[in-house]
């Protein structure tokens, strides 16, 4: 179980370690980025906005990565895998709701493909070889899972996982679960845009800002400096 309080407590400890480590090491993060090949097969570019839903540990960092990705129209933190009644942070933190902390990504397929979203997911957004753990967070609510929104997405994701496992780009097999999305429920307002609003919070500094730097380095063509924020999107509607 991880309440917001316990996450912040872990953040303080992680931040202290990060400051100490910074004296002897460059960028240090709980999950290291891995350079991986693009998917051999991708979803066909369709007209209009498309939706992808993924889970990869704490949604603060995953949301932040895609808010800095070109072609992403919105990235919203939320919950997937359980029912509406339990789609709240206190319940999900118990690890007994079936929900995972997830991010709903709406994107323009003419600017970024579904395959590229998956490549970023497997490379810099999280460690796909860990199933129910990312960094200091443990539990099924922090699991690695792709919630496909179309049969084509599921097919592309299945093929890509097989491709990456065959290429042995990781030291361990990919543990990411894959299934069809039943429903996505946005998280509470205080979880939205968390990385951007709290850049000096130790948890963010230690676990999540390095993901943004890795996105910038590894996916320079897909990186945008100004994040696409949830609150900014609401302000324009």
Q: Give the tens place of pLDDT for each residue, 2-50.
A: 445 455 544 444 443 333 323 223 334 456 899 999 999 999 988 899 9
Query: In whole angstroms, what is the distance from residue 72 CA to residue 36 CA?
Result: 21
How much is the pLDDT for 7? 56
How much is the pLDDT for 232? 74
Round the CA-based radius of gyration of the chain to a whole number and report it.
Answer: 17
- The region of weakest confidence among 161-165, 204-208, 232-236 is 232-236
**Which residues have a catalytic role annotated?**
58
How much is the pLDDT for 219? 98
- Asked whether 86 and 99 are in contact (CB, 8 A), the reply is yes
How much is the pLDDT for 32? 82
How much is the pLDDT for 46? 84
The CA–CA distances, whole Å, from 220 to 52, 105, 155 equal 21, 19, 27
CATH number attached to the domain at 4-236: 3.30.1060.10
Q: What is the pLDDT of residues 86-125, one digit of tens each?
A: 999 999 999 999 999 999 999 999 999 999 999 999 999 9
* Alpha helices (runs of H) in the chain, residue ranges in sequence order: 4-21, 59-67, 89-92, 114-120, 151-167, 194-197, 202-203, 209-218, 230-236
Global pTM reads 0.88
How much is the pLDDT for 104? 98
How much is the pLDDT for 30? 57
């Amino acid at each position: 179980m991880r309440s917001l309080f316990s996450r912040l407590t872990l953040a303080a400890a992680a931040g202290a370690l990060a400051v100490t480590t910074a004296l002897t090491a460059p960028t240090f993060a709980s999950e290291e980025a891995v350079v991986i090949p693009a998917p051999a097969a991708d979803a066909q570019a369709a007209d209009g906005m498309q939706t992808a839903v993924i889970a990869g540990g704490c949604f603060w960092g995953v949301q932040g990565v895609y808010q800095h990705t070109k072609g992403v129209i919105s990235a919203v933190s939320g919950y997937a895998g359980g029912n509406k009644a339990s789609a709240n942070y206190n319940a999900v933190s118990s690890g007994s709701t079936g929900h995972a902390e997830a991010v709903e990504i709406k994107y323009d397929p003419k600017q970024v493909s579904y395959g590229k979203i998956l490549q970023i997911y497997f490379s810099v957004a999280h460690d796909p070889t860990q199933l129910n753990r990312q960094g200091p967070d443990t539990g099924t609510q922090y699991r690695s899972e792709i919630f496909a929104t179309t049969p084509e997405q599921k097919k592309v994701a299945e093929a890509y996982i097989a491709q990456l496992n065959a290429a042995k780009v990781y030291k361990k097999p990919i543990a990411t679960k894959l299934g069809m999305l039943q429903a996505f429920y946005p998280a509470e307002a205080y979880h939205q845009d968390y990385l951007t609003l709290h850049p000096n919070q130790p948890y963010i500094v230690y676990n999540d800002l390095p993901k943004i730097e890795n996105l910038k380095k590894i996916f320079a063509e897909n990186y945008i400096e100004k994040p696409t924020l949830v609150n900014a999107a609401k302000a324009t509607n």
